Amino acid sequence: MTMMTITFLDKKRIKHRITYKLFKSNLTEKWVDIICENQRDHAKKIYTAFMNRTKEDIPELHKDIIDHVKKINLRYVKPLPLYEGKTELTLDDLNELHHLFEEYGDLYAETETNQILHNLFLQLNEKIHAYEHALEDKTIRFPEMSAVVDYYPQELFVDLQERDKLFLVSNHRWGELYLGYNTLGKDWLTASSDNDIDLVLRKSVRPQRRFAAEFWLNFTKDCDAGTKMELFEQWYDSLPPDAQESVPIDNLNELTLGKFILGEVYINEYFLKFDPNKNNWKASASDTQAKWNREVFSTFREIVSIDIFDRL
């Protein structure tokens, strides 16, 4: 069995090692190859976008995103809004920034641009999502947390094959490991959950077509596939006719609903020191999962190593 251990540093620079069991699949093997190829290049660095902030972090996140927008505005031809007078952004404000990020992405695809500016926009997208998660923490019992990990500079890509869609799932579970989206914009499930009708009308929803080393560590509350599909169908039925025409509802292959699963967390001694009852780690939306998210994962700030190995 192929395993992967990730070493995190928390905000006190204490190390935490979390191990994953990787599924044996064509998709996972190709992804492992990309990870290993990136690791052989000493110029590549691990970059992590944590979605692990709580509502207490909003003032810090607000200052950070406004300062970041100011840096972009020094280099970009179309200045982004600074939301002066606001001490906290709304989801509508963050959606506006996300649309402007997508506009930049379309411009970048057609013209050469400054690499510093490009990196600033990529970081803006991550800061938007971190801010969104902190806002959501105001209204939920279970702190929804995750992280997107990649190697920069991002240069290696592989096209998804049809067989890879055997591992496309929409019932995302706490502790599971998935391919990163690796696409500028939003896929159909994200567009529906955000009710981003403007994106649909602009025909700018982008299902995943390729992947890189990027992966998603999921520590959000379990979501049943049935619930997500019900919500997606209800959202589709609620759309105006001109928006419905843009949704490939008669081609599920084209919709590509969900994420591509690679493996799952291994409940070993590290977790059992926090709670020795394995059943509590597997129970859906358990108090143990919620407590670990809020008390431990929320403190993670950096990944310092990724080790892939075979367990006999």
Domain spans in the chain, listed from the N-terminal domain onward: 2-46+159-310, 55-136
Alpha-carbon span 146 to 48, nearest angstrom: 10
Burial class (CB in 10 A: 0-12, 13-18, 19+), 141: exposed
Alpha-carbon span 35 to 213, nearest angstrom: 5
pTM (two decimals): 0.79
Q: What is the pLDDT of residues 147-206, one digit of tens each?
A: 999 999 989 999 999 999 999 998 899 999 999 998 888 999 999 989 999 999 999 999
Token pair of 168 as six digits: 């496309």
Residues facing 236 on adjacent strands = none
* Residue 124: CB atoms within 10 Å: 21
What is the pLDDT at residue 184? 83
Q: What is the pLDDT of residues 59-87, one digit of tens each?
A: 999 999 999 999 999 999 889 999 999 99
Alpha-carbon span 233 to 124, nearest angstrom: 31
Task: Please give the residue that has the higher pLDDT: either 172 or 114.
Answer: 172
Contacts of 141 (CB under 8 A, 6+ apart): 290
Q: Would you say residue 312 has pLDDT above 70?
A: no
What is the pLDDT at residue 226? 77
Token pair of 180 as six digits: 């990163």
- The mean pLDDT value for 250-268 works out to 94
Which candidate, 126, 128, 101, 118, places its Cα nearest to that of 206? 101
